[in-house]
Structure 1
Amino acid sequence: MITDLLASLSRFADRDLRPGAEERPHRPELWSFVAHDRECWGEVRIERTTLVTVLEGVKEIADGSGVTRRFPAGTAMLLPPGWTGPVVNEPGGGRYRALVLEFPPGMVRRLLRAHGSDWLAPRPRPSDWRVPLTPVLIDAIHHAAAGLAAEPPLSPTLAEHRCMEVLLALLEDGVWWLGPLTPAGTAEAVRQLIRTHPERRWTACSVAGALNLSTGTLRRRLSEDGVSVRRLLAEERVAHARDLLEREGVSVQEAAMACGYANRSHFARRIRALAGLNPSAMRNG
């Protein structure tokens, strides 16, 4: 059954359609990698949550652990933002083929906000980036790929919904490293915490408690980074508001409430101060 399901993905990887070096759009993307010769990439950096399904040949990756991982045909890996390491694509039977799904940060944040924040608990790095290719996950990948490759194109909302099914299937299978693995310092840990619930009335005390720090230690560490809880809260709320207004098309009032602002005027002032735009301009931009 798994073999048949994997074969159904082959039509999306019949030729090489890998991305260039340009900036990735704020939407999920589907790529196919096809190579007839061995490829060695000295240092690859993953900027967005990336699911790779190997259809032919073998992919080898190695990161800071110094261990090389081999992913033959019929296996998959989930690489989180910030992953770096050398990559080798080895043809098997004449070629290497892989299907790649990239998920933008905003989509991953929305999933994690909606389905709990257990992922924030301290965890070790995964010993292997492999994810189980269950029938449910393969079916979700196929559904998402068909949507992203559809002609005429699906609406962005519907295409995103299909891709969200893939993330949900991964999360339910215990793949917790969908977002950045570990916060790079206290400021980033605070940002990640706020992203899970930007509507909450976060204070230095409540943030410190959630991060198992004293309020004094939290303030000292943030001060060393030149930021404060108030500043980080405002920045993350504005980022969330931009995502809601530009990509989800909610009303200004709905965006204000989702970001913890009961007063629409106060919300608009915050947006203007930090983003230089009125909320209505974001929504209509």
Structure 2
Amino acid sequence: MAGQSGNITRQETVPNTAFPPPPVAGLFCSSTGNASCGDAERAHKFCEEFPLYRPVKPFDAMYSSVQRYDLCPSRSPEFCGNISVVDQGRWRGSTTNGNGDCLLTTNLPLYFSMKDSPFLTKTSKTIYFEVRLIDIRDGPATQSTDDSGFSVGFVAQPYPTWRFPGWERGSLGVFSDDGCRFVNDSWGGKSFTSKFTIGETVGLGMTFRLPMKAPSTPANEDEKVNVEVFFTRNRLGGDFDLYGALGLFGGVDFEVLFDPAVWLWTPQDRF
């Protein structure tokens, strides 16, 4: 699904965030569905008016909650449906048939720049969560399952609540309806994987590491951490605070999994 349709001026300047820049060669639009030009323009104005929050050092109790996966869902006003915390680190929810574009995020960042940055800890930091697609129902435009799905990703706040992760600055996302990935990209994204199917579990993670440099290289206050983004599918066995995010459109039944005890992926799979 693409972030807009029609012809509007694309933002040429992408604010400096923990995410890599938008892809150089991407798609102009999606082959499955596209958001309205009006929604895209409204989102661009929102981002111009409300810059990203500066990172803050969390209170100990707040940071401890994230480490225990004690996270609550924050629903956007556009979200119509049900969402519940069925266990610590595990949500289950559904949107109503025909629900328009909406956003679901964690109430707390999974990555605190002032606490987790490798420049402070001298070690790497990985954030990750999974989403299980239980069922897809009628979408907002065609009243068919082809017009429903989700985007799994991360966002820096504030973020427009009617836009999916990956479409605006300070965000990335991978879409279920066409498998495209978006990084600060309001257009058609970039081909990445295949369409998700009912019953699949997908995961998205980011690993932050110290930049590689020669020992004699002097310190640079503008230096950025290295960021690796990875995606998992049915696996068995920065600069800003980042929130787990799920963009939803149409009728979707889903689970969101933050607790490693219920992941299909295990950290050892990457090493």
Relative to its length, the structure with more strand (as a share) is 2
Kindly indicate whether structure 1 or structure 2 has the higher relative contact order, using CA contacts under 8 Å at least 6 residues apart. Answer: 2
- Higher-Rg structure is 1
Relative to its length, the structure with more helix (as a share) is 1
TM-score range, shorter chain: under 0.3
Superposition TM-score, scaled by structure 1 size: 0.24
